[in-house]
Amino acid sequence: MNPIHPALAPLAQAARHMPYADCVDALRAALRAPAWLRPEHRVGDPARYMRHVLYVDPEDRFVITAITWLAGQVSPLHGHQVWCAFGVAEGELTEERFDASLRRVETRTLRAGHVAERDVDGKAIHRVSNRGAATLVSLHLYGVCAAKLTTGINRLY
Ligand SMILES: [Fe+2]
């Protein structure tokens, strides 16, 4: 078993059963008491949002990552090739959601402790950004093996 912070262990346990079980309660618990969040997770990359790998499932079913967003940073418009779930550990996250025609249907702001999404069938299309002044740290689960972490998650438009 890979080392894991105890505050993330229940989340990893729930993720083992995704996408057929629910991980929202475990995700919310990890967001409301983010003892796993280390100082380096608040250090972003001025060039683009920065992904920190927190845990890799030894059977290659999922990864847990933190993503650090400096003020003003934004993701591309994207869907997902794999199941995913995420929420906010620190800061304020803006999520714009789009329909299949790429029309924006919703813009919402999520704060620390909030679960943003659980996309089990890869239908969600969204764009995530940090419109606040403070650094944003989000917590993500992706149903992808570590080897495909950079190429196997997002579906770009
Ligand atoms: Fe996404």
Each residue's pLDDT tens digit, 1-48: 478 999 999 999 999 988 777 889 999 999 999 999 999 999 999 999
User: 78 CA distance to ligand 1 centroid (A)?
Assistant: 6
Q: pTM for the full model?
A: 0.94
Whole-number pLDDT of residue 63: 96
User: 4 CA distance to ligand 1 centroid (A)?
Assistant: 23
Chain position carrying tokens 């959601």: 97
Whole-number pLDDT of residue 1: 45
Rounded mean pLDDT of 45-64?
95
Whole-number pLDDT of residue 131: 98
How high does pLDDT run on average in the chain? Answer: 93
35 contacts 4 by C-beta, under 8 angstroms: no
User: 90 CA distance to ligand 1 centroid (A)?
Assistant: 17
Strand ranges across the sheet with 115-119: 50-56, 63-69, 136-142, 84-90, 115-119
Per-residue DSSP letter, 13? H
Q: Residue 46: is the preceding peptide bond cis (ω within 30°)?
A: no
Question: Is 60 exceeded by the pLDDT of residue 62?
Answer: yes
Per the structure block, which two tokens stand in for 85? 């779930």
User: 86 CA distance to ligand 1 centroid (A)?
Assistant: 8
Whole-number pLDDT of residue 119: 83
Q: Is the dihedral of CA 116, 134, 67, 47 positive or negative?
A: positive
Q: What percent of the chain lies above the pLDDT cut of 70? A: 99
Residues 6+ apart with CB under 8 A from 123: 79
Per the structure block, which two tokens stand in for 13? 């346990």
User: 139 CA distance to ligand 1 centroid (A)?
Assistant: 11
User: 75 CA distance to ligand 1 centroid (A)?
Assistant: 8
Whole-number pLDDT of residue 134: 96
